[in-house]
A and B are shown apart, each in its own frame.
Chain A
Amino acid sequence: MRTHVGEFEELVLLTTGILHPEGYAVNIGAEIESQTGRSITISAVHTALHRLEEKGYLESYFGEATEIRGGKRKRLFKITHAGVQVLREVRELRNGLWQQLPKAILKGI
């Protein structure tokens, strides 16, 4: 089963990997914001995480509770084997496409 992964979802997936094993919605959002300079809303991150989990690229478990969270536990996310696989596929697809770009275009720009 091959499922499409959108651009934002790819970002979230990658960031979750970077933050492993501490990634959860808030710090994932903050990391993307600082890495890309885009403004990210927490709801968008929630949606993406939720979808990725449904697709099987992420799995989640409850982390510890902190005071700043009002005593609520975090849902920590971990990238699955399928998640790594799909990232690799996306990169290979990109690399393949890059290889086929004519040199002239790259130079011209």
Chain B
Amino acid sequence: MRRTPPIIALRLLRTFVHVHYLEELEGDLEEVFQSNTLSKGLRVAQFLYWVHVLRAMRIYPVKRHPSDIMHEIKNLLFLKLAARSIWKRKGTHLINAFGVTAALVSFMLILNFTTYEQSFDEFHEHADRIARIGFDWGEVSVDGKNESIYASNVPAMGKLLVAGIPEIETQTTFVPVMTIKKSCHVRSPQTGSVFSAEKGLYADDQFLSVFSFPTLLGGGKLLSDPYTVVITSSFARKLFGESAIDGAIGRSVTFVTDKEENYTITAVLDDVPSNSHFTFDYLISYETINSPRLEENIYWSQFYCYVLLRDVSSAASAASKLSGVVTKVYGQDTRVSLFLQSLKDIHLNSNLRGELGTTGSRSTVILLTAVAYVVLLMGWINFTTLFLAIAVERVREVGIKKVLGSTRLHLIIQFLSEAIMVNLLSCLFSVLVFLLASSYVASWLGLPHISAEPYANLAWPLGVFVVIGSLIAGALPACILSSYKPIKAMGKQTLELPLYSQLKQVLPYFQFTVCFAVVASAGIMKRQLAFMQNADIGISTEQTIAIKLPPTNDDTGRLSFEGFRQRMRQSPTVDHVTLSSSIPGSRINTSGGVQKISGDALEGNNVLNIYTDENFVNTFGLKVLAGRNFQSTLSDTLPHVLLNEAAVRVLHFSSNEEAVGQSILWQENQVLVEGVFSNYNHLFLKEALEPMMLTQASMRQQFMCVKFTNVNGPLDDQEILSTVKDAWSKEMPSIALDYDFLDDHYGRQYDSIRREREVVQNFATLSLIICTIGLFSVSAYMIRNRFKEIAIRKVLGATSENVLALFVREKMPLVLISSVAGALIAYFLMLSWLRNFAYTIGIRLLDFSMPMLTLVGIVIVSIGYHVFNALRVQPTNILKNE
């Protein structure tokens, strides 16, 4: 009876012994085993078989020439084969690599940006333990919105919190200089002239121990004595010149606000990193402005309060004790409440009143991250479909390889190594592009330029891309192809495998849908932006320059200012000069409720107010609809006001005329309505038109607007600027001129929307490029498989147009279905985007026709090229082969 040798030993033998020796060895051992079984019994034979196998393994795998080993390694990686195969299709692979590179570079750039946005305030040593205490007045307007939630707090709160909540270790209170002062300038110790220095804080002595802003020079107990200041190194350079920073400690610096004061510099700090949610040039000790009255103030909610918790986990228990402190201060039934925000969440998650700087937006970060991954996915899909397309061509190669003894593993390794090579190539390209042109590409994509750690996140997306990308792109065709039986593979020109052809069909749908959605969204955004920029805002901002006025603390200052105003008024090219507390395009800060003197209390009666003079209406081209403009002499009894039409409606007057001459209450003070002026959009059209009033005031305001004449055609900016500079330097030579053209200023409101549109627009271009490349390279193979068909059609009398139409028609279901899907996506996305705007365009059917035409265009271009190439070949040359 035949016995089988130990199966495990046999496996071992087959695994480790080189295939060249395996057959004879296996046979010999089997023969010995069989004879041993007869002569010595099964057990002994099995034991001896094991011994022989182990000894054989010692001999054969190592007994090879060194050159053989190298050959094996080369074969194993299939590098040579892969390189040859890639080189054979270099054009296709190059185009494909370009698409992948574009996807990869955008992916890295976007990721770089989002990581930067998420890194805000992480540099603080105690970042996890720092929290901001915000303040909510709890005033809900008629439409249910609470706009009284402040990022800031009241001056007294910090100390009350430390006393009332044991989880809080310490607190720091600070306030921007511009909250306390109307303006702030610094006298340069070098030239004696003053320049604007508004980025400063009054900060208490705990500020630098709570936050981590490293000191370069100086030290000790900082910011505890009044009239001491800590400055950043770039501010120090601005003050003392490049080289003289070392001597800055102990020197004094003159701040010009409503008065001139000298401060002693006690330390120089590193510049504030760009990824901090607030920024400053200097810190003045809080003691300078502190007073017992201020310390007890519980109403002025424009101070900032940051607390340092005892440990990270105590945030929740500290937050729960906030209401206890509130009731102690404001009584039981107050609407006021406090809330706690973790420091690291502020930049992306907080958008309250009185934020310390422009905050980022979590939704933008999420959107961009989604964009990054979609782009990457599109790149991968291109890659995979192309490899699938190429694979079709290689069926016969696979068949022959299998006949010659390639195993399935060999084939998979071969296809994988090809994919890895192309991927590595694309990675190399994209690293080059990233290094050479990252700032250019970033600005093209509409991302802000990031100076901090630009390459920090380069490595891992690349690694992930190579690994996952190659696996997906290479493994799919590899597994599908290698499963083919040689006899089948060799018999057919193309192969049709259910999974394969389904995949080939489905993948482009995703790309086309994305393309459609993005192109449609970009179109709608463009139309909305154009609509807002071209709409009649009821005001003219052309030929107007807005000048920020400096402080005047003495009579000479006042005189020189009056001189400047006179010069501007008398200039032949100037039409109007007005002073105002706010200019169009900037938020109005003063507001209050209005009431009729007699009558019921009104709800939702908030009216914005600008202090200005009789020239405001003319300067901005507003119309007085009823009553009259301010008179040039100021009334000494009641303040005179002009209302806009919206404010008239708030007050429930039946007509504009009825309001004229009435006395009303504003912030509980009586004012006289002198006239009604036409509505205009003080802010851009994202914001609703607000009820407004103008109050005639004699005091100097923060802004002067000068309207230049348009009689002899528009003046150019340079002419306007030189007129202003001339007059300024004659009257106030020691003060820097701070100006802005009003139309620029107004237009700057559109910046963020324009940037959003740019991102989407560029994403659209990018996805179109990737899509075109994908279809282009895939259809090359599709058409090659149908050369014969084309030739026969041509012989039978089809024209080029017929053939092209045939192929384009085949792609029409793709275009139509993706268009419908893309249109749905774009519709809902844009609907939610437009909801942010007070004035919007509607989404029209026409918005979706352009993207559809674009898709058809892509199909025609990418297929047409190959079709015409195929048509150019003589049919006889194709058909004679059979």
Contacts and interface: CB of A to CB of B under 8 A. Distances in A.
A25 B56 CA distance: 13
Given A26-B32, A41-B52, A72 B59 contact: no
Contacts of B31: 26, 66, 68-69
Interface in B45-88: 51-52, 55-56, 58-60, 63
Contact of B63 (A24, A50, A62, A70): A50
Nearest to B56: A43
A42 B29 contact: yes
A73 B27 contact: yes
A22 B869 CA distance: 65
Nearest to A45: B28
A25 B55 contact: no
Interface stretch (B18-26, B195-203, B368-376, B759-767): B18-26
B746 to A, nearest CB: 91
Interface string B655-678: 000000000000000000000000
Contacts of B32: 26, 42
B57 to A, nearest CB: 10
A46 B26 contact: no
- Majority SS at the chain B contact face: helix
B28 A68 contact: no
Contact of B52 (A24, A42, A70, A73): A42
A46 B27 contact: no
B30 A72 contact: yes
B34 interface: yes
A64 to B, nearest CB: 11
Nearest to A25: B28
A90 interface: no
B52 A65 contact: no
Contact of A72 (B27, B56, B58, B60): B27
Given A26-B31, A69-B31, A43 B59 contact: yes
B24 A73 contact: yes
A74 interface: yes
Give the size category of A's interface with B: 10 to 19
A41 B52 CA distance: 8
A25 B24 contact: yes
B55 A70 contact: no
A69 B34 CA distance: 8
A67 to B, nearest CB: 8
B513 to A, nearest CB: 58
Nearest to A27: B31
Nearest to B53: A43
Contacts of A66: 31
Contacts of A74: 24, 27-28
A41 B55 contact: yes
Interface in A45-92: 46-47, 50, 62, 65-66, 68-70, 72-75
A23 to B, nearest CB: 12
**Which of B29, B31, B63 has its CB near the most chain A CB atoms (within 10 A)?**
B31
A68 B2 CA distance: 8
Contact of B28 (A26, A47, A50, A62): A26
Nearest to A30: B35
B59 A42 contact: no
A24 B26 contact: no
8 contacts: A42-B52, A43-B55, A43-B58, A43-B59, A46-B56, A69-B30, A70-B27, A75-B24
Interface of A: 24-26, 41-43, 46-47, 50, 62, 65-66, 68-70, 72-75
